[in-house]
Amino acid sequence: MQKKKILTATLASTLAATVIAGAGTFAYLQANTGTITNKFGKNADTGLDITLTETGVTLDNEGNGEKIYEIKPNQQDDKDPTVTVTNNIDVFTFVEISDKTTLDNNKIVNYQVDEGWTKLTDELADYELVNDEVTDVYYRIVAADADNNEFAVIKDNRITYAQNVTGDKIDNDDVTIAFQAFCIDKAPFVEDGKDEIVSATDAYKAIPRVFAYEPEGNFTTVAVDEDTVAVTGYTGTNTEVNIPRTIDGKTVVSIANNAFENNTTVEKVVVPSTVTEIGVAAFQSTPNLKEVRLSKNLNELSDEAFFNSGIESITIPAGVTDIVDSCFENCPLLETVTFSKGLKMLGENAFKSCISLKTVVLPDGLESLGGNTFKGCINLESVTIPSSCTSFVDDEIFKNCDLTKLTIKGEAGSAAQTYAENNGITFEAI
């Protein structure tokens, strides 16, 4: 079993020499690791080993064999990332976890963080982490003169597989759990030579690549009420835009109609958690826009919000109940849509002509599919429809799709099965 240590931080005179103290500004001693990624895949070149059970061999027409692997539910494996800290000052030690151990909206592994770590994620909920790969942050205080002190990250160094996984899904590079660690001086230096103790939250926020908002002057706004504004336009030139939570002291609650329409520069937008509404055509005709991180508190996506954009993947927050008409129509690069259980309806033309969509898993609780929802999704291969979906607006939901390679998956006897059989689409009971 390969062992990994994810941090060796020597916070001593060599590092202290890099500290610059400015008037009224904290300067932090800092050390950090690179990211250690554990890939849940066979023959992985990096990361820790996992046990895979060979379940059989399939042969092609030429007799070449391919092993089929299986991870069994409740099977346990060693995963032992360890933080090693050598320090002569008191430090906050942070571990960031980027957990992508999910397939088809189902968790693959379960684990607990070891004793001694305190979860910081909830205290950061009101901020937008630019490093949006991070799913959880934990910290502990390590006292000065701790000599090569080692701290386990995962309790008992064990993870448990929560579901059965077979075949090529095990090789999916997107199914990973990654760790990165940071140490920051617990007492930042100030100009008058006095030490000042800060909270773990403040210390974490001082990490340079954690929080970075776009300058307020790069946005135009309109008042919603006395205390809130809507963003009506972006005048900056950055490719990555992290919209601030407040502009001129007023809370940003909406991205207005056409706010980013026809922008050909922006590639990524982070929408703050204060925003509850995305307006009509807000990101329409943005060919270079690959990624938008939507507000976790979003409850309204308006018509044509991402029409004709370059978006490649999107996660729909739990508060969004309807994906309305033409919301993602003609997004030719859209490959991955992650839905939340709050979704009730897909509107007319919602994903029309999204030619890169291959697999769609609709969430439990969905009630209705609108007309032409997936029309022209010519590479669509699999759509999982929950039994809660009983309303199919018409027979053209999958019009101009390649029905010879399309499979609808759902519960036997469900409305999804009836719809599939009535429209000549293969149905697979799950």
Confidence at residue 36, expressed as pLDDT on a 0 to 100 scale: 63
| Amino acid at position 325, single letter | D
The pair of three-digit structure tokens given for residue 244, joined into one six-digit string: 């601030």
pLDDT per residue over 311-336, tens digit each?
A: 999 989 889 999 999 999 999 999 99
Query: Does 10 fall in a domain?
Result: yes
Contacts of 145 by beta carbon, 8 Å cutoff, 6+ apart = 87, 88
Q: What tens digit of pLDDT does each residue of 370-428 get?
A: 999 999 999 999 999 999 999 998 889 999 999 999 999 999 999 999 999 999 999 99
Alpha carbons 309 and 135: distance in angstroms, whole number:
27
Residue 33 counted as domain residue: yes
* Tens digits of residue pLDDT in 58-93: 445 555 555 556 677 777 777 777 887 777 778 888
pLDDT at position 138 is 93
In a domain, 200, yes or no: yes
Average pLDDT over residues 197-211: 74
Q: Is 379 exposed, middle or buried (0-12, 13-18, 19+ CB in 10 A)?
A: middle
Place of tokens 């990524």: 268
Query: pTM for the full model?
Result: 0.68
At residue 8 the predicted structure's pLDDT band, cuts being 50, 70 and 90, is very low
User: Quick check: 47 and 38 in contact, CB under 8 A?
Assistant: yes
d(CA 420, CA 4): 49
% the chain with pLDDT above 70: 74
* Whole-number Å distance between alpha carbons of 120 and 260: 33
As for how many domains the chain has, the answer is: 1
- Cβ-proximal residues to 357 (8 Å cutoff; 6+ apart), any chain: 334, 335, 337, 351, 374, 377, 379, 380
In-domain check, residue 312: no
At residue 18 the predicted structure's pLDDT band, cuts being 50, 70 and 90, is very low
- pLDDT of res. 1: 31
Q: Look at residue 310 and tell me if it is in a domain.
A: no
Q: In which domain, by residue range, is 191 found?
A: 5-205
Q: Is residue 92 part of a domain?
A: yes
Describe the strand order of the beta sheet including 382-384 as a list of residue ranges: 359-361, 382-384, 407-410, 426-429
pLDDT at 163: 75
Tell me, yes or no, whether 392 lies in a domain: no
Task: Flag whether 43 is in a domain.
Answer: yes
β-pair partners for 391: 368
CA distance 9 to 193: 24
Q: What confidence category does residue 23 fall into, taking pLDDT thresholds of 50, 70 and 90?
A: very low
Mean pLDDT estimate for the chain = 80
